[in-house]
């Protein structure tokens, strides 16, 4: 089994991603990881970085195809790669077991594939599958992959009521596995409720990590996705030398 990039070199601390890339994780499924991944990848590529989005395993395929969405946003087929696609819309380990195609899925294969993508591309934006405790393969979970790959994590969460517990537990779980957290993105933020308006400051205080808000974006528009992410996150997320 391959070893991941050197942890000290790859993990530069809170507030920004590393030169090797970032692992975009979610507090749950459907929180907007793919939109953030696509926008971040497109933003990096517009700045001249050969960034590639990596989806370790896609379930519910088709119609779900996160890598294809990133390719569409970035306007090029080399902007994303998916290592494994499974039809059942279930956790990867369960989807492989329930697949009618006799699909085989191994944790070692997924880990080696992600590490190869990180090592062979200038910057990798790896997108998780659901939340951290989602069964991946061979009794291992998504959080095991995040820890073993060795990239900092960017947590994507819902903006409204109920996100405090999920986000706090997600950040705590990452830190217990020695995964630095670059920050938290509260997706589809409108500030329409008291919970939404107060959540950013509360989460920042709870987790001691930067929190950024991203408004609802037009996912049919590449410019909206890329500009929405680049306009919501400080430039220092990509380059720590850049002033916020």
Report the mean per-residue pLDDT for the chain.
93
Is 237 annotated as ligand-binding?
Answer: no
- The structure's pTM equals 0.93
Number of structural domains the chain divides into = 1
What are φ and ψ of residue 156, in 5° steps? -105, 130
Residue ranges making up the domain that contains 222: 12-119+133-232
Q: Assign residue 199 the CATH number of its domain.
A: 3.40.50.300
The pLDDT of residue 240: 80
C-alpha 213/C-alpha 215 separation (Å) is 7
Judge whether 147 lies within some domain: yes
Judge whether 6 lies within some domain: no
The pLDDT of residue 10: 32
Is 187 annotated as ligand-binding?
Answer: yes
The pLDDT of residue 121: 97
Judge whether 207 lies within some domain: yes
Q: Does the pLDDT at position 239 exceed 80?
A: yes
Judge whether 240 lies within some domain: no
Judge whether 100 lies within some domain: yes
The pLDDT of residue 243: 56
The pLDDT of residue 118: 98
- What residues act catalytically? 55
Judge whether 143 lies within some domain: yes
Report the pLDDT averaged over residues 164-177.
98
Is 128 annotated as ligand-binding?
Answer: yes
Q: Does the pLDDT at position 5 exceed 60?
A: no
Q: Does the pLDDT at position 87 exceed 60?
A: yes
Least confident of 6-15, 151-160, 228-237: 6-15
Judge whether 219 lies within some domain: yes
235, 242 in Cβ contact below 8 A? yes
214, 186 in Cβ contact below 8 A? yes
The pLDDT of residue 13: 57
Side-by-side strand order, sheet with 21-26: 80-82, 51-55, 123-127, 21-26, 153-158, 181-187, 211-213
First to last CA, the chain: 39
pLDDT 10s digits, 59-75: 999 999 999 999 999 99
């Amino acid at each position: 089994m391959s070893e991941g990039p050197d942890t000290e070199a790859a993990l530069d601390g809170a507030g920004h991603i590393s030169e090797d890339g970032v692992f975009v994780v979610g507090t749950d499924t459907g929180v907007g990881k793919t939109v953030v991944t696509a926008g971040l990848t497109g933003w990096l590529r517009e700045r001249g970085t050969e960034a590639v989005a990596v989806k370790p395993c896609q379930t519910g395929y088709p119609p779900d195809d996160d890598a294809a969405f990133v390719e569409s946003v970035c306007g090029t087929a080399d902007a994303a790669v998916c290592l494994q696609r499974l039809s059942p819309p279930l956790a990867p380990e369960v989807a492989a077991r329930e697949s009618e195609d006799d699909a085989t899925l191994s944790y070692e294969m997924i880990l080696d594939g992600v590490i190869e993508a990180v090592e062979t591309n200038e910057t990798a934006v790896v997108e998780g599958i659901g939340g951290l405790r989602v069964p991946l393969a061979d009794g291992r979970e998504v959080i095991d992959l995040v820890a073993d790959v060795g990239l900092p994590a960017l947590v994507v969460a819902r903006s409204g009521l109920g996100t405090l517990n999920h986000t706090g537990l997600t950040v705590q779980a990452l830190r217990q596995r020695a995964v630095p957290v670059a920050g938290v993105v509260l997706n589809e933020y409108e500030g329409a409720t008291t919970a939404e308006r107060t959540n950013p400051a509360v989460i920042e205080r709870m987790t001691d990590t930067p929190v950024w808000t991203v408004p609802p974006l037009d996912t049919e528009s590449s410019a909206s996705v890329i500009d929405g992410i680049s306009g919501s996150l400080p430039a220092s997320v990509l380059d720590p030398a850049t002033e916020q």
